[in-house]
A and B are shown apart, each in its own frame.
Chain A
Amino acid sequence: MTRSLVMGVLRRLSLVLAGLTVWELVARSGLFSPIIVPSLARIGRELWFLATSAGSLVEVWQSLFRGLSGFALAAAVGVTLGVVMGRSAVAAAFLSPIFSGTYPIPKIALFPIFIYLFGIGSLAKVVLVFLECLYPIVVTTHAGSRAVNRVLLWSAANMGASRGRIVARVVVPAAAPFIFAGLRIALPIAMIVVIITEMISSADGLGYLVMYSLASFKTDRMLAAVVVISLLGLALDRLVVGLRDRLVFWERLDSYYAE
């Protein structure tokens, strides 16, 4: 019993452990310069440095602030738009073509225009994050609020609930699993866009730190920044999942994407 449990855990971790071992062996073998493959110990040291120096924490905060503010804006606007589109035929007829028509267009291409419109600071990046995150949230919320069980709507209306009350008490809770699926797609996108825009044009933030460390041949620091970014992405995803499991306890949507 315990033996099979241990074997299961080992098999689950085997690829990660194998990858790390190969990395360390290659780094120690001296075949490649430490600039190309820095050892895990050096990355760990840089990681410690990043975690303890105030300056680098500011960079982390910059990236988080940009990503989360764009994401929060997109969540507020996207859920509202999605519910309105799902419950009103007029709004759907008006907004749906805009969203489905521009959905496959990579919004990142608009970044240069945004720089001219909103300046090179945080605002252009937040706007781009907002725009990229808006689409998955609107699309999934729209699908969710359209799929509300009609009997529930009818009985709520029959019992004298007003339209606003129906939306707040029936539609939004019923669409919640879909909304969270949308949020879960949007959050990694927010991180991607923040990092990309910081790599392209910025003087602060984690994306900038990656490019700056690369340009100064500090690959160990660059990889430490990559680790930090990865951990952030992972932590934010866990946060959304945790929130979903608290709020939408009645339905376990065991999938990453809602159709």
Chain B
Amino acid sequence: MATLGLWQAATLGGHPEFVLSPAEIAGHFAAALRSGELLPHVGASLLRSLPGFVLGSAIGVALGLLAGVARSADQMLSPVVFLTYPVPKIVFLPIVMLWIGIGDASKIVIIALACFYPCFINAYYGARSTPTIMVWASLNMGARRLQVFRKIVVPSALPLVFAGLRVSLALSFILLFSTEMINARSGLGFLIRQSESSLRFDLMYVSIVAVAALGYASDQLLLLARRRVLAWQAATTR
């Protein structure tokens, strides 16, 4: 709040045209919403980031859990994943573009690829940190392997899985906007670039605010989902 106030105060005394005051941005935001300049681009961005995030994190969690419980999968997958983890995934965008075209599919693949890693690593450690005593106890009581997996391993891995999902979500937004800035004909990243190069700073700020709002809203949604799913965890750790 203080930052916003300072910003507003600083811009009151006159400012270069590429800096807008918060009040002006709010005004332009409402105008852009009404004129329909903004919403199609928001839709286009979401249509890229959501499938990428869902695909990448679903595969990541599934393989991570598998590698966490099965030694042969662990030996095959983990070295590859941990070796390629520090590689910035965005460098694969040009290659993927060559293979499957410049459209949405290549962006979705890159976003999915980036979301895969945090989910895999967290699910892996989550599954591995399952208390051994619980597994023994349930086996002793006659649970089958699948039951152990569903009733013991998955719940105890869930807190870490959610931590991974949160990292992936943030990453999916970073990659969405950078892929859109590099090449796209729609979406918020495109809108930022286009309005920047046509000196429409009002629209540029509006789309930046929209990006921030989207990032914030989806993060809150994820936290809400975690509170629903992990209600038992909050109850036991408090």
Q: Which residues of A contact B (CB under 8 A)?
A: 8, 11-16, 35-36, 98, 101-106, 108-113, 115-117, 132, 185, 187-188, 191-192, 195-196, 199-200, 207, 210-211, 214, 219, 222-223, 225-226, 229-230, 233-234, 236-237, 254-257, 259
B74 to chain A, nearest CB (A): 10
Chain-A contact segment, one of B92-100, B135-143, B147-155: B92-100
Chain A residues contacting B90 (CB-CB under 8 Å) are: 192, 195-196, 199
Choice from A132, A229, A257 contacting B163 with Cβ under 8 Å: A257
Stretch from B26-34, B35-43, B52-60, B167-175 contacting the other chain: B167-175
Q: A12-B79, A256-B125, A257-B163 are in contact. Are A187 and B192 (CB under 8 A)?
A: no
Cα A259 to Cα B167 in complex, Å, equals 11
Residues B121 and A256 in contact, CB atoms below 8 Å apart = yes
Sample 26 A-B pairs with CB under 8 A, ordered by A number. Answer: A8-B75, A36-B99, A104-B170, A104-B216, A104-B220, A105-B211, A106-B215, A108-B178, A109-B188, A113-B18, A113-B208, A132-B174, A192-B174, A195-B91, A210-B91, A214-B97, A219-B95, A226-B92, A229-B87, A230-B91, A233-B87, A233-B88, A257-B121, A257-B163, A257-B167, A259-B163
What 4 A-B pairs have minimum CB-CB distances, sorted nearest first?
Answer: A104-B219, A237-B86, A233-B86, A230-B87
The 8 Å CB contact of A104, one of B3, B93, B121, B218, is B218
Residue of A nearest to B82 (CB): A256
Whether B95 pairs with A223 at a CB distance below 8 angstroms is yes
Q: Is B235 an interface residue (CB 8 A)?
A: no
Give the chain B neighbours of A254 by CB distance below 8 A: 125
B3 neighbours in A (Cβ, 8 Å): 98
Which B residues lie within 8 Å of A211 (CB)?
94, 182
With known contacts A8-B75, A98-B3, A188-B86, A108–B177 Cβ distance under 8 A: yes
Closest B residue to A116 by CB, please name it. B18
Chain B residue contacts of A12, Cβ below 8 A:
75-76, 79
Contact (A15, B76) CB under 8 Å given A104-B215, A191-B86, A257-B163: yes
Cα A188 to Cα B125 in complex, Å, equals 20
Answer yes or no: B196 CB below 8 A from chain A CBs. yes
* Given A16-B80, A191-B88, residue A222 in contact with residue B192 (CB < 8 A): no
B123 CB to nearest A CB, Å? 12
* B77 CB contact (under 8 Å) in A15, A103, A115: A15
Compute how far the CA of A15 lies from the CA of B88 in the bound complex, rounded to whole angstroms. Answer: 20
Q: How far is the CA of A111 from the CA of B212 in the complex (A)?
A: 13
Hey, which bits of chain B sit against chain A, CB under 8 A? 3, 18, 72, 75-77, 79-80, 83-95, 97-99, 118, 121-122, 125, 159-160, 163-164, 167, 169-170, 173-174, 176-178, 181-182, 188-189, 192-193, 196, 204, 207-208, 211-212, 215-216, 218-220
Residues in chain B near residue A111, CB distance under 8 A = 181
| CB pair B173 A106 closer than 8 Å | yes
Q: How far is the CB of A64 from chain B (nearest CB, A)?
A: 13
Main SS class of interface, B: helix
Contacting residues, chain B, for A113 (C-beta < 8 A) = 18, 204, 208
Set of chain A residues within 8 Å of B188, measured between Cβ atoms: 109
Q: Is the CB of B181 within 8 A of A200?
A: yes
Known: A108-B177, A196-B174, A200-B182. 16 other contacts (CB 8 A): A13-B79, A35-B98, A106-B170, A106-B176, A108-B181, A109-B207, A112-B204, A113-B18, A195-B91, A196-B178, A199-B178, A219-B95, A222-B95, A233-B88, A256-B122, A257-B121
Q: By the criterion CB–CB under 8 Å, are A255 and B174 in contact? A: no
Query: Within the assembled complex, what's the spacing in Å between the Cα atoms of A8 and B78?
Result: 13
The CA-CA distance from A41 to B76 in the complex, in Å, is 26
What is the distance, in angstroms, from A91's C-beta to the closest C-beta of chain B? 14
Residue of A nearest to B208 (CB): A109
Interface centre among A12, A112, A222, A229 (most CB of B within 10 A): A112
Taken together as a complex, chains A and B put the C-alpha atoms of A94 and B112 apart, in Å, by 36
List chain B residues, Cβ under 8 A from A36: 98-99
Q: Are A222 and B178 in contact (CB under 8 A)?
A: no
* A36, B98: Cα distance in complex, Å: 6
Distance in Å: Cβ of B227 to nearest Cβ of chain A: 16
The complex places the Cα of A123 from the Cα of B27 at a distance, in Å, of 31
CB of B177 within 8 A of CB of A106, answer yes
Q: Which residues of the other chain, B, contact A185 by a CB distance below 8 angstroms? A: 167
Report the nearest A residue to B17, measured CB to CB.
A116
Q: Closest Cβ of chain A: how far from B216's Cβ, in Å?
A: 5
List the A residue with the shortest CB-CB distance to B89: A192
Q: Could you say which residues of chain A place their CB within 8 Å of the CB of B193?
A: 112, 200
